[in-house]
Amino acid sequence: MSLDITKINPHFEDVMPQEYIDLVKNGPFGNEKSQKDLGTFKELLEEHPLCAGCNLALAFRILVGSLPNPEDTIIVGSTGCSSLAFSQLALHNIHSVFGNQNAVATGLKTALRLRFPDKIKDVIVMAGDGATADIGLDMTLHSWFRGDKITTVMFDNELYANTGGQESGMSVRDTVLYMAPKGKKFNKINLPDMAIAAGCSYVAVVSTARTKPISDCFKKAVLITREIGPTYIQIYTPCPTNLKIKPYESKKVATDRSKSDYQFREHITDDAKKYLESLKP
């Protein structure tokens, strides 16, 4: 049914834009992809206005290229750098007011469950660290407390990038930013541990240093969310513009941090593990 919606009515084939024809013929609809396939198929996000060397853009591309069922997915975003890319995305998405993304996702998930009780409908939140862990922390935590079946992804560039470089709860202590000239005065929030305590069935910490773990962990999270409960993926996505790093060196920053204080980490509950096992052919 959902796949039928993406197909082109034969009567309109001659007037459809080539971009859309390519998406139907050689895109990810009904044809699951991974990060290793990037560059070989028509992607849902091909252009964006984010800065050169933006790690968030890289993470975003990998995520939308790894959706298990893009034709049955709605992404909820929030204000921030990522919202600039959402407008280029060939997929249903909602822009929520800054910080409200998990509350909006809860309402959406509930409505979809009632309207389509027998169908898979993946609701995925993708937002910055400020939206997720500062102004939206209440909404993030309460969606987890309620056990809402939503996947939450945070693009952690450790600052408010879009508004010129204020500190966020996710900034590292003592970091000096354009708009935090005296340095941040308290520690980085440990949101992965809070997610575990709040009842997430699966939590992963990854970075743009390596693309495969982003794809693998995200796929696991979306599948677990469907049947077991909320999941959380935190991706370190350093911002070259605010950190004053040359675009071509920004990935190296991710690599260095992934070897020190931003290492790969994964938490999975027994139920979630069993469920993933049950999906294996």
Binding interface with ligand TPP (CB under 6 A): 56, 79-82, 97-98, 127-131, 135, 155, 157, 159-163, 168
CB of 178 to Mg ion, least distance (A): 13
By DSSP bridging, strand 265-268 and strand 202-207 are: antiparallel
3-state helix, strand, coil in the chain (%, to 5): 45, 15, 40
Smaller CB distance to Mg ion: residue 129 or 148? 129
Spatial distance between the Cα atoms of 192 and 24, rounded to a whole number of angstroms:
37
Smaller CB distance to ligand TPP: residue 221 or 239? 239
Smaller CB distance to ligand TPP: residue 82 or 143? 82
Residue 215 binds which of Mg ion, ligand TPP, none (CB < 5-8 A, kind-dependent): none
Smaller CB distance to ligand TPP: residue 169 or 229? 169
Does residue 167 interact with Mg ion by CB under 5 A? no
Smaller CB distance to ligand TPP: residue 218 or 275? 218
Does residue 240 interact with Mg ion by CB under 5 A? no
**Angle, nearest 10°, between helix axes 137-145 and 101-115?**
40
Query: 170 pairs with which residues across the strands?
Result: none
Burial (CB < 10 A; 0-12, 13-18, 19+), residue 91, is middle
Spatial distance between the Cα atoms of 214 and 207, rounded to a whole number of angstroms:
7
The single residue among 78, 106, 143, 157 that binds Mg ion, judged by CB under 5 A, is: 157
Helix (H, G, I), strand (E, B) or coil at 33: coil
- Residue 73 amino acid letter: T
Smaller CB distance to Mg ion: residue 128 or 136? 128
Residue nearest to ligand TPP (CB): 128
Spatial distance between the Cα atoms of 179 and 160, rounded to a whole number of angstroms:
9
Say how many Å lie between the first and final Cα of the chain, rounded: 24
Residue 209 binds which of Mg ion, ligand TPP, none (CB < 5-8 A, kind-dependent): none
Spatial distance between the Cα atoms of 112 and 123, rounded to a whole number of angstroms:
9
Does residue 134 interact with Mg ion by CB under 5 A? no
The single residue among 65, 128, 169, 238 that binds Mg ion, judged by CB under 5 A, is: 128
Residue 236 binds which of Mg ion, ligand TPP, none (CB < 5-8 A, kind-dependent): none
Interface with Mg ion by CB under 5 A: which residues? 128-129, 157, 161
